[in-house]
Amino acid sequence: MRLAWATDIHLDFLADEQVRAFAASLVADRPDAVILSGDLSHAEQLEHHLRLLASATACPIYFVLGNHDYYGSGVAAVRQAVTEVCARKPRLRWLPACGVIHLSERTAMIGVDGWADARLGDPEHTPVFLNDFILIEELAATLDPAALRDRSRLRGVDRRALHAELRARGDAEASQCAQLVSAALASHAELLVVTHVPPFAEACWHEGQRSDANWLPYFTCAAVGEVLRAQARAHPDRQITVVCGHTHGAGEAQIEANLRVLTGAAEYRRPQLQRVLTLA
């Protein structure tokens, strides 16, 4: 089983012919499937870009969503739209809705979007403020409307409600992840987990370095990490590989003897194949 993996492709920076050319490059070596670990586009163009990808490839496209995919809309609305486009285009498969994917007798795949959950690093004092907080409806709703009108006030805005929302979303992703991983490991010796947000500080890479305490709150999903670590320890005879993105920095982290995380690099306007994963 050969899977072509790409992440943070940000197709909204490309013309349609460039999207088609990129899709063709992903399947040039005839993989069995393509996997995309989030930040495919933004809300306004996401359906269009998904349809372009489906029309330019002959194999299934398994994907999760990233934070940029919700820009200009809300989480619920985008997920509903993605569910509908996948129903019309069976080649497109949003992993959180797919359950456990049986790749072979030995190997399964699952996916959750993940969500940066403001738990690692120094969330109470970080000066980092992301566009997510004003461009995703559910997050913007947690902030002082006066600060949203006067952007110069945003860095000093009270973030307690925002962090509560982020943590609730991280917990929801972790709950789904726990169910899927448990089901997959009950019948498969190896598991590929696709997610967008790095689930561990050790897997949060940028420009060759691990992110510091200011960036970690918004670039890791600690809740999903706790699930994966617990499952790895509970099943020492199983192997878990995680692929993720979000940070635009490449790196590998060995979390447990049987738990490895690959974080993919990315550059705006230059989407790339990360690697072809060969699974038993």
Average of per-residue pLDDT across 89-96: 97
Identify the pLDDT of residue 151.
73
pLDDT at 35 over 90: yes
Tokens read off for 247:
């940070």
Identify the pLDDT of residue 156.
80
CATH number, position 171: 3.60.21.10
| pLDDT grade for 155, boundaries at 50, 70 and 90 | confident
Host domain of residue 89: 2-278
Tokens read off for 63:
């994907």
Identify the pLDDT of residue 154.
78
Give per-residue pLDDT as tens, 215-248: 999 999 999 999 999 999 999 999 999 999 999 9
Question: How many domains is the chain partitioned into structurally?
Answer: 1
Percent of the chain with pLDDT strictly greater than 70: 100
Strand order in the sheet with 251-256: 101-102, 107-111, 190-194, 239-244, 259-263, 251-256
Identify the pLDDT of residue 150.
79
Identify the pLDDT of residue 30.
96
